[in-house]
Amino acid sequence: MRGPASILCLSLIACAGAQCRRRPAEPAKPVTKGDASFRIEYQEKVNPLEYFPLAVGNKWTYASTDRTGVNGSSQSVVTTRWITEHVITAEYDIPEGKVFLGQFLIRDVRYEEPPDANETQLRWFRDHFRDHPPSRPAGLQAKNYLVAGNCVFDLEDEGWEAAAKRLAARYREGLSWSEPILFFPLDGVSRWSSRATEESDYQAGLLCEAGKGPAPDLVGYWEVDKREDVEVPYGKVRDAVYLIYPHLGGGEQVWFKEGLGFVKAVLIHSGSYGEWETTLVDFTPAQAAR
């Protein structure tokens, strides 16, 4: 489905640390794999639904593990395990694109208390875990999706007006500052963020190339790292796209496979100790469920 598209290629992000190597502007040329740094540079329009199988009735089953240190400690760790079934329940066409509503069905929640925990730690555990059971897969926050252009966004419940079947005004107005959770084709760009962030960094990169400012720091981006095979309870998924979202204290890692969806997600936070992992157990298309 990929075809050529023209962009003004300025070799924007040829930066190392605070130094930016200047390059002369180049004439427009076709986009090829890896040419575009930002999604705002990528002009070819594709349908995300050709890559991400969102359809009413489709169901993904995930196994999640949450390992959190009691009071932030890495010594006494509480482990929570659970299964989530994510089902797409409704689809709507709206001016901005398509909305897919879903629901999380949580089951088989199990807790493992640290064997060396004292009474104070156990009280903390009860207050933070047993009284607040998991409500979604660890590391995969989206229950509802907005498909707009080449992007897929997380649509929070408060961002959708169910009675009017439209996006809430506040959510719609903030879309330029919303980071897509996916941009297709995944091999088409090096990274993506919100449109506002990308446009700001793009302009900063132009000034950097002209010797009029520092290189943009490129904070707050999903980065397309590579393709690799990944083993999960569903089986061995070949040639999945490995995405990373670096941030202080650790970062997020996601493996996505076209035609299947999210395969694995890992979050690590080394400050107040926490590790979260979700893996795909099963995918049931709507037709197979009938």
pLDDT value of residue 72:
52
Give me the residues paired with residue 191 across strands.
223
State yes or no: pLDDT of 3 exceeds 60: no
Is residue 268 in a domain? Answer: yes
Mean pLDDT of 35-49: 77
Alpha carbons 240 and 264: distance in angstroms, whole number: 10
* Those residues with Cβ within 8 angstroms of residue 107's Cβ, 6 or more apart along the chain or in another chain: 82, 83, 84, 85
Q: Are residues 219 and 57 in contact, defined by beta-carbon separation less than 8 angstroms?
A: no
Q: pLDDT tens across 55-80, in order?
A: 999 999 999 998 877 655 555 677 88
Is residue 225 in a domain? Answer: yes
Place 35 in a pLDDT band, splitting at 50, 70 and 90: low
E strand or H helix at 204, and its extent? Answer: helix 195-209
Place 83 in a pLDDT band, splitting at 50, 70 and 90: very high
Q: Where are the beta strands (DSSP E) in 32-150?
A: 59-69, 77-94, 97-112, 145-148
pLDDT value of residue 278:
95
Is residue 100 in a domain? Answer: yes
pLDDT value of residue 71:
54
pLDDT value of residue 170:
92
Residue pointed to by tokens 């569903």: 234
Q: Which domain holds residue 149?
A: 6-289
Q: In total, how many domains does the chain have?
A: 1
Q: What distance lies between CA 7 and its chain's CA centroid?
A: 26
Is residue 1 in a domain? Answer: no
